[in-house]
Chain A
Amino acid sequence: AQKVTQAQTEISVVEKEDVTLDCVYETRDTTYYLFWYKQPPSGELVFLIRRNSFDEQNEISGRYSWNFQKSTSSFNFTITASQVVDSAVYFCALSEASGGRRALTFGSGTRLQVQP
């Protein structure tokens, strides 16, 4: 069965620090998709990125970057020069291609607090 682990429950940083959020996943599928979502205090989950299992290229989008390593089953998320507006709960999620299952399996989330 699939599983997503976010071992960091809460991280607190000061503005402008870099911060990395860890995500480790388990799946038996060879084809799968990994996602990151942001949940600000308003509560609505916001899609950030999707990666497929065949593409291990790292991705950068502005201050955000993602490091996908199949060898360690990890899909970590780094925020460079953090800002107060980055304060939120961040979720890593997994979906598998086989079996017709379309649901996302989420980790328990990492709460990021960025202090001014």
Chain B
Amino acid sequence: GAGVSQSPRYKVAKRGQDVALRCDPISGHVSLFWYQQALGQGPEFLTYFQNEAQLDKSGLPSDRFFAERPEGSVSTLKIQRTQQEDSAVYLCASSLGQGPSYEQYFGPGTRLTVT
């Protein structure tokens, strides 16, 4: 079966541009997460959806970051007015259930480079 997919895999943006990153979770997975991974670091939580509801956005670093999952499936992470510090790999993960015990399955990530 298909895993989590993300697009684009690589994105180069000029400082100040807006970008949109897409995540297709595993079909039927209720929960969807976005993480940011800086070079040489572990992933850091950005936001969490249960179906279409965004239940936790405590990790979003600024109001330039916005995520949505309007139909409870595909999700988009949007970054407005990109800055150099936004350069990182953005990982999407999904899990079957809504509890903390469910393992999260990760996509390959989108590597964002802001020049």
- Report which A residues bind B (CB closer than 8 A): 4, 32-33, 35, 37, 42-47, 50, 52, 91, 93, 95-97, 100-109
Could you tell me if A45 and B91 are in contact, using CB atoms closer than 8 angstroms?
yes
Q: For residue B98, which residue of chain A has the nearest CB?
A: A102
A46 to B89, CA, bound (A): 16
How many chain B residues have a CB neighbour from A under 8 Å?
A: 28
Whole-angstrom distance from the CB of A88 to the nearest CB of chain B? 13
**Contact count A vs B, C-beta below 8 Å:** 68
Q: Which of A32, A43, A104, A109 contacts B41 (CB 8 A)?
A: A109
Q: Which of A44, A47, A96 contacts B100 (CB 8 A)?
A: A96
A108 to B101, CA, bound (A): 21
Whole-angstrom distance from the CB of A105 to the nearest CB of chain B? 7
Residue of A91, A102, A109 with most partner-chain B CB within 10 A:
A102
Could you tell me if B42 and A91 are in contact, using CB atoms closer than 8 angstroms?
yes
